[in-house]
């Protein structure tokens, strides 16, 4: 159980790094956020600051070797974290919670890569939201803000909702004037069989985002003769999770009827993939199929799972 706790917490810390780094790049360099450089600079800034604090907290001076790295510090720090015991990982969590607000206030994009002159400083509201989200990711009891304002929005419709992948493990959800970042666990896509790993439904959602929400009638690796049955089962579960999260009863991913339909499925909400350096590897992992038997509804064309 201790090992499971450590894995969960380590994964949460990794998610925080990627989530905050991407959002820093997006907010401070809005005209360059689609490029890798601002993301890498933010990554390394956070890793350097964490390394300096942890060198003191854990009495490990070897961490100070990363304090002058302009890029690449993140991979070294995450590798170091993965080798620590649960007690040290808890210290890492508390160090992040204690200092993240100051790190965000101090972030000026200082870098030898000449990004500083194109950097905008975060405002107070943005910093508050960052801190609240980090505390929620890391399980801090200090969180007072609701993490899901969308569930209580009156008469929310799918066409008002947007989902944007910002990292492999997190998305930015928006509707009306609200915007929040969530990891796969918060959206209900964790795989209970593999500690805190996401399940293949998350991989499918990422694949749909890669296709901007439109799945052609014969899309390799997502909807073809080999994967159709598995995909349709996963889509049914995905619809249920999205309905519960947003509290919307209508179908978020309907089947397009008719032999001449260009797309088999098309999301009613906006979905896209804005991760840095997204490639074809974004397609979902259809590593396993459910053993549950179901049937095709003749009226809707949907794959129906047994109760």
Mean pLDDT, the chain, whole residue set? 78
DSSP state of 116: G
Q: Residue 298: what pLDDT?
A: 47
Which residues, in sequence order, are bridge partners of residue 271? 163
Among 144, 168, 200, the domain boundary falls at 144
Question: Can you tell me the mean pLDDT for 177-192?
Answer: 81
pLDDT band, very low/low/confident/very high, at 291 (cuts 50, 70, 90) = very low
* Nearest Cα to Cα of residue 219 among 209, 230, 228: 228
Residues 109 and 31 in one domain: yes
Number of domains in the chain: 2
In a domain, 197, yes or no: yes
Question: Can you tell me the mean pLDDT for 92-112?
Answer: 85
With a cut of 60, say whether residue 222 has pLDDT above it.
yes
In a domain, 151, yes or no: no
With a cut of 60, say whether residue 205 has pLDDT above it.
yes
Among 108, 127, 144, the domain boundary falls at 144
Lowest pLDDT segment from 30-34, 40-44, 246-250, 287-291? 287-291
Among 117, 144, 171, the domain boundary falls at 144
Dist CA 138 CA 292 (whole Å): 35
Give me the domain span that covers residue 198.
190-302
Dist CA 141 CA 135 (whole Å): 8
In a domain, 105, yes or no: yes
In a domain, 170, yes or no: no
Tokens of 160: 């008002």
SS3 category, 257: coil
Q: Which residues of 92-126 are buried (b: 16+ CB within 10 A; e: fewer)?
A: bbebbbeebeebbeebebebeeebeeebeebeeee
Percentage of residues of the chain with pLDDT beyond 90: 22
Dist CA 157 CA 178 (whole Å): 14
Q: Residue 296: what pLDDT?
A: 45
Question: Can you tell me the mean pLDDT for 34-50?
Answer: 80
* Segments in 29-147 forming alpha helices (H): 36-57, 73-82, 86-106, 124-137
Are 185 and 196 contacting, i.e. CB atoms less than 8 angstroms apart? yes
């Amino acid at each position: 159980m201790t090992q499971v706790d450590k894995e969960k917490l380590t994964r949460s810390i990794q998610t925080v790094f990627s989530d905050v780094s991407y959002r820093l790049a997006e907010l401070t360099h809005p005209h360059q956020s689609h490029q890798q450089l601002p993301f890498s600079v933010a990554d390394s800034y956070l890793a350097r600051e964490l390394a300096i604090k942890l060198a003191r907290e854990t009495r490990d001076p070897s961490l100070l070797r990363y304090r002058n790295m302009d890029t690449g510090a993140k991979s070294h720090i995450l590798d170091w974290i993965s080798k620590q015991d649960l007690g040290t990982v808890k210290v890492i969590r508390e160090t992040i919670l204690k200092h993240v607000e100051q790190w965000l206030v101090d972030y000026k994009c200082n870098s030898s890569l000449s990004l500083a002159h194109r950097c905008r400083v975060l405002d107070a509201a943005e910093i508050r939201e960052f801190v609240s989200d980090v505390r929620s990711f890391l399980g801090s009891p200090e969180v007072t803000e609701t993490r899901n304002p969308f569930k209580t929005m009156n008469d929310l419709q799918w066409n008002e909702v947007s989902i944007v992948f910002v990292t492999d493990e997190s998305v930015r959800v928006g509707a009306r004037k609200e915007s929040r970042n969530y990891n796969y666990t918060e959206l209900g896509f964790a795989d209970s069989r593999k500690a805190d790993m996401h399940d293949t439904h998350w991989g499918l959602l990422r694949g749909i985002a890669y296709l901007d929400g439109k799945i052609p009638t014969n899309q390799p690796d997502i909807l073809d003769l080999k994967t159709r049955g598995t995909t349709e089962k996963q889509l049914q579960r995905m619809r249920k999770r999205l309905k519960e999260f947003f509290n919307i009863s209508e179908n978020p991913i309907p089947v397009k009827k008719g032999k001449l339909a260009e797309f088999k499925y098309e999301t009613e909400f906006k979905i896209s993939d804005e991760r840095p350096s997204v490639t074809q590897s974004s397609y979902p992992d259809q590593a396993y199929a459910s053993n549950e038997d179901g049937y095709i509804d003749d009226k809707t064309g949907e794959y129906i799972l047994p109760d």
